[in-house]
Amino acid sequence: MKKNPLFDVLDQLYFQAQMQFGSAIKSKWLYDGDGCPGCGKDITETKWKKKKALSLNAFMYRDHGVLIGYLLCGTCAHTIHSVGVKGGYEKLPVHDEIEKNLKAAYVKRLGH
């Protein structure tokens, strides 16, 4: 069985986060919920340097010490990326929605 390349990238993000945050990161998890954690739409491709790409991101849920990897739909990815390209790496309302949904999904996964 072939390993999903998303897990390889998540592993890299996890090791990088461990180097940066030390023991604050205890585990990793790839969110596999239905739809984009930002808007609920289907996960779709986005354009990156004129090529099709998926937007793999990670969020550190500090309360549980877990790095949560997740994919975004093309619309949410474009919204976040376009603000960042303009030099405005500010927190957008979609970031709050993503964090809220990822936290809820992780706690549900734990059975709490």
Higher-scoring residue by pLDDT: 36, 78: 36
* Domain count of the fold of the chain: 1
> Which residues partner with 60 through β-bridges?
67
Any idea which of 21-30, 47-56, 68-77, 100-109 has the lowest mean pLDDT?
Answer: 47-56
Q: What pTM, to 2 d.p., does this model score?
A: 0.86
Residue 81, phi then psi, degrees to nearest 5: -65, -40
* pLDDT over threshold 70, residue 112: no
Residue 15: give the domain boundaries: 5-110
Residue 57 CB contacts under 8 Å (≥ 6 apart), including other chains: 69, 70, 71, 72
